[in-house]
Amino acid sequence: MRLFVAVDVGAEVQRTASQMIESLKRRAEQSAPHARVTWVKPEQLHLTVRFIGQADPALGDKIRTALANPLRTPAFDLTIAGTGTFPPGRLPRVVWAGITTGLDHLRLVEQEVGSRLDALAPPTEEREYHPHLTLGRVKNPAGLRPAALLEGTETAVFGMVRVAAVTLFESRLSSSGPTYIALGRADLAHI
């Protein structure tokens, strides 16, 4: 099983992001026709809270149990807006949308999820948590320039999301791309 914990972004953000992805796809094809970018399907858009990676079913059950109780962090709103690429200032590997409000609350959620899961599934990365909405993954940049690709989209607003829960997903890979299956959910505190 390949597992991760994420926030669902909802239909409004999926719709807006889908339109942006189509626009960026056209720009990429025109400005760098040999670049290879895998664009995220709208129904797969999410904000990753914790990537767990490979786990056997027994560990998956323990993780699901660890996330069964509500989190202490209260539900909150966040706004997804702006675009960028990782790594900054170099050949792009990821095209993303950012978070302009609610970022501190999302970081609290990530810390709380981490405290529940660290003993079961230690973090796979040592870098600081930088939440974002992945729009595309660049397989081969072949002349793709972030400034040209993202021109005029740096402040685009994708919408607001009410974060009331996090979901444990299994990612099943196939030749047609990943399929995400919800395995469990942890609600946030309701005030």
pLDDT value, residue 191: 63
Provide the pLDDT for residue 61.
96
pLDDT < 50: residue spans in the chain: none
- Residue 2: per-residue pLDDT: 93
pLDDT of residue 128: 86
Give me the residue spans of the domains in the chain: 2-187
Q: In the prediction, which pLDDT does 174 show?
A: 83
E strand residue ranges, 23-164: 36-39, 46-54, 76-86, 94-101, 133-140, 157-163
At the top level of CATH, the class of 2-187 is: alpha beta
pLDDT of residue 101: 96
The share of the chain scoring above pLDDT 70, in percent, equals 99
pLDDT for the residue numbered 125: 73
Q: What CA–CA distance (Å, rounded) separates 98 from 101?
A: 10
Burial of 158 (0-12, 13-18, 19+ CB in 10 A): buried
* Total Cβ atoms within 10 A of residue 77: 12
Q: What is the pTM of this model?
A: 0.92
Catalytic residue IDs: 46, 132
10 sits in the region (left: phi over 0; alpha: psi -120 to 50; else beta) called left
pLDDT score at 178: 85
